[in-house]
């Protein structure tokens, strides 16, 4: 590889990992990617693979938007002020020409561009011996898992819930390779998008290492994502199969955090149950404003932080106060200066413990896998009440070792997910995937559109804004990409 290409490759990687200012080079339509002649060695491939994760943690994905979309549209977290950028999300105030969330589609497709370029070239990388072959396979497996991850997130953000119509609504524009300049494509259905993601994950599993791989996909993280995808589809047999395998196989590799360590674990990286987290530091940020725009900073009220824009609802506070000995109650605190209640779950990672702007987004963890297994055990074709009870009570008793055993039901699992996964971006998607009504009448303070106080996520006519629109710019770049119903079609 020519020296100039190596320099340019490193510049591209810097754009991918540190700042969004290079987005003009990796433009917003799915037509350009890293030139293939710049990726010729395993070292090059590793750098590009690392860049895939760097882009995932920015504020238009898991640094902010994905978490806000999963929480503010539901019943546990609300906007605190009228002036924050989160108010539009809280109010379902989405339009084709509003850009406070539209960067998510762009970000996901930029990641896909680079994942596909990597996949186009990885099999040709020279490998000297089995160790190099294993590295090459693992890099390919990571690229496939990231590609699946992006398609799944596009489907659940821009497509209606799978179980509403068996995936018949509009999903992603499938990026199954580097899309040639000028090529336009229609959107696939949600089912086709899920099927594509499942195939990528199944292709990735035999390639991925089973060793812990901090900040990156490994075999177990890909399997956890596969269990989540099947859960969203209502394919409970497969959701249980993969979640149960993780729990019964990982042994000492991944374990639930002990009760005594639970609260403190949120200030540390790479906990015993973290399957995938995105690594954030001063040198590798999550937005252009030193993390101040991050979800983790905006939710913080410690010291009466004036920029705090979101708070827990009364409904969530009441739920956590049902059991005074539940350790998770310690993650709901009251700011001394203002008297306001806030979620203290994201204090910053161990690299910058005093800076909650630099909290690692935790994307997949073992607690969620237990709850997937419990729900799926109840709902699969041959229900397993024993397993459902076992996995649900494991999470309950970690929160309070003296909690009595209960009989698992779907409602009890959803209640436990609500407490265990609060603030992590799941609540809206849990309610919408099952077609549960979203009741925001308890603790609803801001004057939101009355239509969206109680929301039926499966009603396309009255509540079409439960899915995001494609922006005008994206549809101009790819006119064949159909707009979601209800939005302006320009």
467: closest CA among 81, 94, 118, 83?
Answer: 94
317 and 424 share a domain? no
- Domain of residue 307 covers 300-345
As a whole number of angstroms, the distance between CA 258 and CA 367 comes to 12
Residue 257 within any structural domain of the chain: yes
Say what the pTM is: 0.92
420: closest CA among 347, 365, 341?
Answer: 365
Residue 161 within any structural domain of the chain: yes
Side-chain half-sphere of 224: how many Cα atoms within 13 Å?
26
Structure-derived torsion over alpha carbons of residues 312, 318, 322, 326, reported in degrees to the nearest 10: 10
Please tell me the predicted confidence (pLDDT) of residue 2: 32
Residue 24 within any structural domain of the chain: yes
Side-chain half-sphere of 164: how many Cα atoms within 13 Å?
24
Please tell me the predicted confidence (pLDDT) of residue 82: 73
| Category of 14 on φ-ψ map: left (φ > 0), alpha (ψ -120 to 50) or beta | alpha
Q: Cite the DSSP H helix spans in 299-444.
A: 314-320, 366-379, 385-399, 410-420, 427-434
As a whole number of angstroms, the distance between CA 311 and CA 343 comes to 7
108: closest CA among 183, 222, 193, 192?
Answer: 193
24 and 138 share a domain? yes
Residue 231 within any structural domain of the chain: yes
Please tell me the predicted confidence (pLDDT) of residue 334: 84
Residue 40 within any structural domain of the chain: yes
Please tell me the predicted confidence (pLDDT) of residue 176: 96
Q: What is the DSSP letter of 189?
A: B
74 and 192 share a domain? yes
Q: In which residue ranges of the chain is pLDDT below 50?
A: 1-33
215 and 151 share a domain? yes
What does the block give as tokens for 332?
A: 């709901």
Mean pLDDT of all residues belonging to the chain: 87
Residue 483 within any structural domain of the chain: no
As a whole number of angstroms, the distance between CA 281 and CA 352 comes to 7
263 and 315 share a domain? no
143 and 278 share a domain? yes
What is the count of structural domains for the chain?
A: 2
Q: Cite the DSSP H helix spans in 281-365.
A: 295-298, 314-320
As a whole number of angstroms, the distance between CA 461 and CA 451 comes to 12
Residue 485 within any structural domain of the chain: no
Q: What CATH number corresponds to the domain at position 151?
A: 1.25.40.390
Please tell me the predicted confidence (pLDDT) of residue 28: 36
Are 298 and 309 contacting, i.e. CB atoms less than 8 angstroms apart? Answer: yes
């Amino acid at each position: 590889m020519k020296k100039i290409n190596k320099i340019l490759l490193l510049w591209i990687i810097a754009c991918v990992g540190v700042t969004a200012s290079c987005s003009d080079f990796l433009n917003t339509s799915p037509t350009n990617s890293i030139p293939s002649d710049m990726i010729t060695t395993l070292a090059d491939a590793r750098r590009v693979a690392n860049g895939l994760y760097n882009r995932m943690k920015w504020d238009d994905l898991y640094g902010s938007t994905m978490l806000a979309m999963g929480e503010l549209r539901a019943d546990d977290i609300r906007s605190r002020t009228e002036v924050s950028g989160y108010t539009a999300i809280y109010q379902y105030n989405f339009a084709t020409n509003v850009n406070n969330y539209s960067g998510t589609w762009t970000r996901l497709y930029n990641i896909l561009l680079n994942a596909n370029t990597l996949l186009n070239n990885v099999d040709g990388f020279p490998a000297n011996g089995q160790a190099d072959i294993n590295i090459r396979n693992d890099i390919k497996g990571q690229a496939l898992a990231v590609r699946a991850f992006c398609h799944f997130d596009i489907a659940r953000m821009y497509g209606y819930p799978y179980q509403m119509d068996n995936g018949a609504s509009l999903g992603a524009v499938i990026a199954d390779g580097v899309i040639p300049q000028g090529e336009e494509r229609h959107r696939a259905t949600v089912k086709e998008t899920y099927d594509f993601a499942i195939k990528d994950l199944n292709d990735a599993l035999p390639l991925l290492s089973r060793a812990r791989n901090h900040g990156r996909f490994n075999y177990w993280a890909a399997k956890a994502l596969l269990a989540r995808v099947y859960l969203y589809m209502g394919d409970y047999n497969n959701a249980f199969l993969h979640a149960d395998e993780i729990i019964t196989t990982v042994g000492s590799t991944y374990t639930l955090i002990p009760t005594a360590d639970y609260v403190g674990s949120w200030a540390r990286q790479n906990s015993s149950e973290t399957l995938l987290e995105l690594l954030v530091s001063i040198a590798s940020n999550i937005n252009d404003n030193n993390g101040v725009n991050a979800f983790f900073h905006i939710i913080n009220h410690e010291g009466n932080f004036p920029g705090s824009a979101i708070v827990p609802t009364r409904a969530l506070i009441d739920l956590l106060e049902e059991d005074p000995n539940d350790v998770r109650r310690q993650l709901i605190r009251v700011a001394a200066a203002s008297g306001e209640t806030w979620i203290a779950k994201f204090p910053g990672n161990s690299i910058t413990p005093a800076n909650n702007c630099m909290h690692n987004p935790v994307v997949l963890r073992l607690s969620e896998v237990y709850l997937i297994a419990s729900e799926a055990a109840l709902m699969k074709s041959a229900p397993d009440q024993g397993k459902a009870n076992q996995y649900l009570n494991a999470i309950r008793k970690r929160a309070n070792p003296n909690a009595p055993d209960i009989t698992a039901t779907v409602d009890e699992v959803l209640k436990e997910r609500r407490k265990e996964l609060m603030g992590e971006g799941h609540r809206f998607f849990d309610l919408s995937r099952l077609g549960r009504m979203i009741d925001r009448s308890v603790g609803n303070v801001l004057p939101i559109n009355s239509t969206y106080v109680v929301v039926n996520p499966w009603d396309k006519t009255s509540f079409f804004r439960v899915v995001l629109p494609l922006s005008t710019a994206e549809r101009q770049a790819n006119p064949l990409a159909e707009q979601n119903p209800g939005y302006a079609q320009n």
